[in-house]
Amino acid sequence: MTLRPKHRILFTSILISTLLATLLFSPNIVSVKAATNNYLIELPDGTNVTAQVTSSLSWNTQSNNVTVNFHLADFGENSSYVIFEFIKYSIILTEENLTEYYSLTSYPYINASETDFSHEVELLTPDGADDFLIEITVRMTNSSRLIDLGSEFFQTYTILFPENGVITVDRDQVFPLIDLYGFPERSAFLSWFLVYFLVLTFMSSPALVLGGKRLYLLNKRRKMK
């Protein structure tokens, strides 16, 4: 099938405008698949803490939020506080840990009156990975009083998020071109590019008009023949 010149121009313009529309609107179409997983952590004296991890399962290329909520389920003997030392977030690719992020400076705690402690962190999406897991390492201990404790009292517990499957990175097929090294931030650059494109289109308007006119005359001649 061969396209007529007139239709070819129409086809090309439709193609270009579709491409541009994709460029402009694709940052907004990021599908949100949030997941919440519950974990039960048992401390040595029988205190039970549930950890609830919430995050999206398809991350964008910049950064994403991970929320961990610790809830005191029930106390064991002789303890009225659960004290946290730190929380470490590790992004696990297939073999090696790529990024690690430590948090908590003062020692937060939960007790019978304040049964919930939640921590939210913004993690950067790893470069060059399509899917990964998050390992959340939390060090905590149970205590009867709220005192400064040595590091040796705390015990390490590890949670792997998500329980089933992996977190995938939602990468656009078009954007690797613009996300090259040395290019500015995408949305700012696109807004400049919009001006660039509109101005150049306007400047080539006489040529566009003439192109149509030329085709019109050529068609006339063909008909005459």
Q: Which is nearer to other proteins, 100 or 185 (CB)?
A: 185
Q: Which is nearer to other proteins, 40 or 203 (CB)?
A: 203
Non-local (6+) Cβ contacts of 21 within 8 A are: none
Strand partners for 36: 54
Q: How far, in Å, are 11, 14, 167, 204 from residue 7 at the CA level? A: 6, 10, 44, 20
Which residue in the set 113, 151, 164, 187 belongs to the binding site for other proteins (CB under 8 A)? 187
- Residues 36/59, Cβ–Cβ less than 8 Å: no
Taking contact as CB under 8 A, which single stretch among the options 7-15, 134-142, 167-175, 212-220 is the one that binds other proteins? 212-220
Rounded CA separation 178/91 (Å): 26
Question: Counting contacts by CB under 8 A, is residue 211 touching other proteins?
Answer: yes
Question: Counting contacts by CB under 8 A, is residue 127 touching other proteins?
Answer: no
- Neighbour count for residue 83 (Cβ, 10 Å): 20
Q: Containing H/E element for 224? A: helix 205-224
Tell me whether residue 140 is exposed, middle or buried, using C-beta atoms within 10 angstroms of its C-beta: 0 to 12, 13 to 18, 19 or more. Answer: buried
Question: Counting contacts by CB under 8 A, is residue 189 touching other proteins?
Answer: yes
Q: Binding residues for other proteins, how many (CB under 8 A)?
A: 31
Q: Containing H/E element for 84? A: strand 81-92
Non-local (6+) Cβ contacts of 120 within 8 A are: 65, 66, 67, 68
Question: Counting contacts by CB under 8 A, is residue 122 touching other proteins?
Answer: no
Question: Counting contacts by CB under 8 A, is residue 217 touching other proteins?
Answer: yes
Question: Counting contacts by CB under 8 A, is residue 29 touching other proteins?
Answer: no
Strand partners for 131: 168
Taking contact as CB under 8 A, which single stretch among the options 45-53, 74-82, 134-142, 193-201 is the one that binds other proteins? 193-201
Nearest distance from residue 34's CB to other proteins, in Å? Answer: 26
Question: Counting contacts by CB under 8 A, is residue 28 touching other proteins?
Answer: no
Taking contact as CB under 8 A, which single stretch among the options 5-13, 50-58, 124-132, 202-210 is the one that binds other proteins? 202-210
Question: Counting contacts by CB under 8 A, is residue 214 touching other proteins?
Answer: yes
Q: How far, in Å, are 82, 97, 162, 169, 224 from residue 37 at the CA level? A: 21, 22, 7, 19, 75
Question: Counting contacts by CB under 8 A, is residue 191 touching other proteins?
Answer: yes
Nearest distance from residue 68's CB to other proteins, in Å? Answer: 29
Residue ranges binding other proteins (CB under 8 A) = 182-185, 187-189, 191-196, 199-200, 202-207, 209-211, 213-214, 217, 220-221, 224-225
